[in-house]
Amino acid sequence: MRPLPDPVDEAAAATPPLKVARRPAPHDSAAKHVAGAALYIDDVREPAGTLHVVPGYAKAARGKILSVDLAAVRAAPGVVALLTKDDVPGLNDVSPAHSHDEPVLADGVIRFHGQPVFAVVAETREAARRAARLGVIEVAEETPVVTIDEALASGRDDVLPPYQFVRGDVEADLAAAPAVVEGSIRIGGQEHFYLEGQVALATPGEGGEITVLTSTQHPTEVQHLVAQVLGLPAAYVVAEVRRMGGGFGGKESQATQWAALAALAAHVTGRPAKLRLDRDDDMMMTGKRHDFRIDWRAAVEPDGRLTAIAMDQYARCGHSRDLSLGICDRAMFHADNAYFLPVVRIASRRLRTDTVSNTAFRGFGGPQGVVGIERVMDAIAIATGRDPLDVRLANLYGAGRDVTPYGQTVEHNILPELIAELEVTSDYRARVAAIDAFNAGSRILKKGIALTPVKFGISFTLIHLNQAGALVHVYLDGSIHLNHGGTEMGQGLFVKVAQVVAEVFGVALDQVRVTATTTAKVPNTAPTAASSGTDLNGMAAKIAAETIRGRLAAFAAETWGGDPEAVRFEDGHVVAGNERRPFGEVARLANLARVSLSSSGFYATPKIHWDRANATGRPFLYFAYGAACSEVTIDTLTGEMRVDRVDVLHDCGASLNPAIDIGQIEGGFVQGMGWLTAEELVFDKAGRLRTHAPSTYKIPTATDVPADFRVALYEGGGNPEDTIFKSKAVGEPPLMLPVSVFSAITRALASLKPGVVPPLDAPATPEAIRRAVLAMTA
């Protein structure tokens, strides 16, 4: 490790060491998970009379609806009610951007295959499933626009206007450059495959009130859109989520429709109603990671340094806007990844296709941007004959080369040191030599290695979302009730925020009870997304807890003497003057003295601003960094591939919980590896998704994870910004670490023909790798 100024140590010198935060506490629900005692929505005991809702859809992917014949559905056993657009008392729209392009139930037009046209409400789920298949929907079918190329050729309007970042005259520089490298890469989409599918349970209350248990990352949006659909004030609707069985972005905007349908069924029937999507319906009816095509041309110096680059990003958005604006913007924000692009144009098209609306997925467009520029780095290396790592190092942000294409200065860039450390610990150079020797002597099998960095901007680029609230109560026995606007989807948010609160009060972690996220306790929240959950909610909870602690300190100082500032909260006790009292006793005495033991807390991220019209500002509070070195072997006869070894060094600042953070890094790596190597979404020409179940859509299994998988947290980086205990966000950045796997495959292929960039697209399935082999050896 290098001797660097250590902000953590400086902070530590000023305050006593942390006792609960920065410890590897297990997930708050770990013991319940393993015992089958953690309740998901489908596990909650149903209220008496609960009905079940199943959506029905047309066979067509595009066209006007000519007729909807539901007679057989209505007559089916157990059917209680049918829902169509005409049953919506409020607005038939759940678009997150209020763009009025996401009907709850089709409004006369089929926009994609699987779009819900009606919903069956029945006594049992099985009855509803059987009945839903009996609908006869006649559609004036039109040929759907399915792919990026079809969308470009169609000449139709995009879902959103194009957008670009420009610095300098790229075309002039490219025209004048001695060497221009160019290419195009296609990057497939990705299904979230949260293990718990979309589900909601709506229970009607009195006077039109409704409570929805919803598996969502965004309860506030569910609340407001359910109210909008039912034509109710938001105050009539409560949305609650204790935990999700995985989210990954797939439940940021797209949990809403199912909550709205359950609520609509409850509204129409007056009975509780549950909707849990079948896996196949879930995969057909909900959006995925956007597939991209990225075309690029780069002017390059002989030393591999890039002087100018033009990149065109084409994103397949599906039939509606959903969150595509932010996603495609973030792809542009990460089109540089870790590299200085002196003269640059990054252009983005948001293409409309007659397919399900693509949506948030861990990384939110960033990963596609990163894959694009890392392909450029690999191509430059191949064109110049230099080692890809040297090309990457030559292009990193550095002194005097530190302004992004969107005008934010890259501060506190630790990548040069981080990469240098990983280069040594992964033994990169020696392994490159060994691999070259192996390839020279191996006819069928070829190896490749790559070390790629990640720089990921932390903050919502929609600035107003960078806010959070929390609510903390201390009860008379000293137990603490913690609530905040963040949702738990497995990422360990609840335990991290509980660690923060326990730290503030100087109590043991088990004294803090984390409770279900509900719009009735903390209102008007942002989604738990953009890796921001801990940064935002941890701060809000800390502020709430500190407010109560301040009152207790004042009370203790007044009661037992001394300065309120000198009162200490430690080891479950409050120490004031010469008194040392158990925390619970102090709470009880404070209550008798009429001191409030409850507080909300509110946090808004400082420093950030973004002028989208002029494409300039500081959209990110800071960057999270990491790097990975991956080695692969490919079989050139079949295209099969094996990942032999992975080394990761990742920056979590001063980690709030190293166990949780390593879990995010490993899980993100494997999820990203699946995206880039095995997970293939196949749509047919009629616009139907053919890979709508795990039998055909293959996420990684344990065998796909290399036995030699070395993950370390980067020590000593801290976070120079004032984040929660100097930690850094970790949810999304690791997803881009396995770009190293993709680059390693590229390098293995490149060994077949020096100087030629392998035409490898993602995902690098056996077929894709073999296709590239054939192209290289033709």
Partner 1 sequence: MARKNLQFIRKGRVVEVADVGPTTTLLDHLRLAEGSVGTKEGCNEGDCGACTVALGRVRGGRLAYEPVNACIQLLGMVDGAEVVTVEDLADGGTLHPVQRAMVDLHGSQCGFCTPGFVMSLFTLYQSDRAADRETVCDWIAGNLCRCTGYRPIVEAALASCAGAPADGFAARATEIAARLTALADGADVFVGDATRFFAAPSSLDALCRLLAEHPDATIVAGATDVGLWVTKQLRDLPKIVWLGRVAGLDAIEETETGIRIGATATYDAAAAAVAAIDPDLGTLWRRIGSKQVRVSGTVGGNIANGSPIGDTPPALIALGATLELRRGEMVRRFPLEDFFLAYGRQDRAPGEVVVAIEVPRLGPADLFRCYKISKRFDQDISAVMAAIRLTLDGDRIASACVAFGGMAGVPKRATAAEAVLAGAHLDDPALPRAVRVALAGDFQPLDDMRASAAYRLDVAGSLVEKALIEAAGTPTSATRVFGLREAAVAPAA
Within residues 617-636, the interface with partner 1 by CB under 8 A covers 633-635
Please tell me whether residue 192 binds partner 1 under the rule CB under 8 A.
yes
Q: Which is nearer to partner 1, 42 or 142 (CB)?
A: 42
Please tell me whether residue 149 binds partner 1 under the rule CB under 8 A.
no
Contacting range for partner 1; rule: CB under 8 A; set: 107-115, 496-504, 576-584, 637-645: 637-645
Please tell me whether residue 37 binds partner 1 under the rule CB under 8 A.
yes
Residues contacting partner 1: total by CB under 8 A: 89
The residues in 478-497 that bind partner 1, with binding defined as CB under 8 A, are 489-492
* Closest by CA position to 522, among listed 440, 603, 444: 603
279 with 126: CB under 8 angstroms?
no
For residue 254, give every residue at least 6 positions away whose Cβ sits within 8 Å of its Cβ, in sequence order, or none. 198, 286, 287, 322, 357, 359
The residues in 443-482 that bind partner 1, with binding defined as CB under 8 A, are 443-445
Please tell me whether residue 722 binds partner 1 under the rule CB under 8 A.
no
Residues in the chain: 778
332 with 165: CB under 8 angstroms?
yes
Q: Tell which one of 42, 107, 141, 301 touches partner 1 (CB under 8 A).
A: 42
Residue 80 tokens read as: 């209680």
Provide the strand spans (E) within 58-209.
63-69, 79-83, 109-110, 116-122, 136-141, 160-167, 180-187, 199-204
Please tell me whether residue 638 binds partner 1 under the rule CB under 8 A.
yes
Please tell me whether residue 694 binds partner 1 under the rule CB under 8 A.
yes
The residues in 494-533 that bind partner 1, with binding defined as CB under 8 A, are none
d(CA 736, CA 160): 26
DSSP secondary structure string, 654-687?
S-S-HHHHHHHHHHHHHHHHHHHHT----B-TTS
- Distance in angstroms between the alpha carbons of the first and the last residue of the chain: 47
For the chain, how big is the Rg over CA atoms in Å?
A: 27
Please tell me whether residue 387 binds partner 1 under the rule CB under 8 A.
no
Please tell me whether residue 559 binds partner 1 under the rule CB under 8 A.
no
Contacting range for partner 1; rule: CB under 8 A; set: 1-9, 23-31, 536-544, 623-631: 23-31
Q: Which is nearer to partner 1, 236 or 709 (CB)?
A: 709
647, containing H or E segment? strand 641-650
Please tell me whether residue 640 binds partner 1 under the rule CB under 8 A.
yes
Please tell me whether residue 288 binds partner 1 under the rule CB under 8 A.
no
Please tell me whether residue 194 binds partner 1 under the rule CB under 8 A.
yes
Q: Tell which one of 93, 102, 173, 196 touches partner 1 (CB under 8 A).
A: 196
Please tell me whether residue 129 binds partner 1 under the rule CB under 8 A.
yes
Q: Which is nearer to partner 1, 24 or 302 (CB)?
A: 24
The residue from 421, 631, 680, 732 that is catalytic is 732
Please tell me whether residue 436 binds partner 1 under the rule CB under 8 A.
no
Residue 209 tokens read as: 């009130």
Contacting range for partner 1; rule: CB under 8 A; set: 188-196, 341-349, 476-484, 617-625: 188-196
Place of tokens 């290695």: 449
Contacting range for partner 1; rule: CB under 8 A; set: 37-45, 92-100, 303-311, 313-321: 37-45
Please tell me whether residue 36 binds partner 1 under the rule CB under 8 A.
yes
With 0-12 / 13-18 / 19 or more C-beta atoms within 10 angstroms meaning exposed / middle / buried, residue 255 is buried
Helices vs. strands in the chain: H and E counts, helices first? 20, 29
The partner residues of 457 in beta bridges, in order of sequence, read 623
128 with 56: CB under 8 angstroms?
no
Residue 593 tokens read as: 């003295």
* Helices 533-560 and 583-592: angle between axes, nearest 10 degrees: 70
The residues in 655-684 that bind partner 1, with binding defined as CB under 8 A, are 659-660, 662-663, 666-671, 678, 680, 682
94 with 229: CB under 8 angstroms?
yes
Contacting range for partner 1; rule: CB under 8 A; set: 156-164, 417-425, 440-448, 608-616: 440-448
The residues in 207-246 that bind partner 1, with binding defined as CB under 8 A, are 243-246
Q: Which is nearer to partner 1, 21 or 377 (CB)?
A: 21
Please tell me whether residue 566 binds partner 1 under the rule CB under 8 A.
no
Q: Phi-psi category of 688—alpha, beta or left, where left has phi over 0 and alpha has psi -120 to 50?
A: beta
Contacting range for partner 1; rule: CB under 8 A; set: 179-187, 344-352, 508-516, 686-694: 686-694
Please tell me whether residue 700 binds partner 1 under the rule CB under 8 A.
yes
Q: Which is nearer to partner 1, 31 or 424 (CB)?
A: 31
Q: Tell which one of 399, 430, 702, 778 touches partner 1 (CB under 8 A).
A: 702
Q: How far is the CB of 394 from partner 1 (least distance, A)?
A: 32
d(CA 338, CA 453): 7
Please tell me whether residue 248 binds partner 1 under the rule CB under 8 A.
yes
Instruction: Check if 732 is active-site.
Output: yes
CA-to-CA dists, residue 178 to 167, 174, 383, 401, 774, angstroms: 20, 9, 13, 22, 31
Please tell me whether residue 142 binds partner 1 under the rule CB under 8 A.
no
The residues in 731-770 that bind partner 1, with binding defined as CB under 8 A, are 765-767, 770
Residues serving a catalytic function are: 732
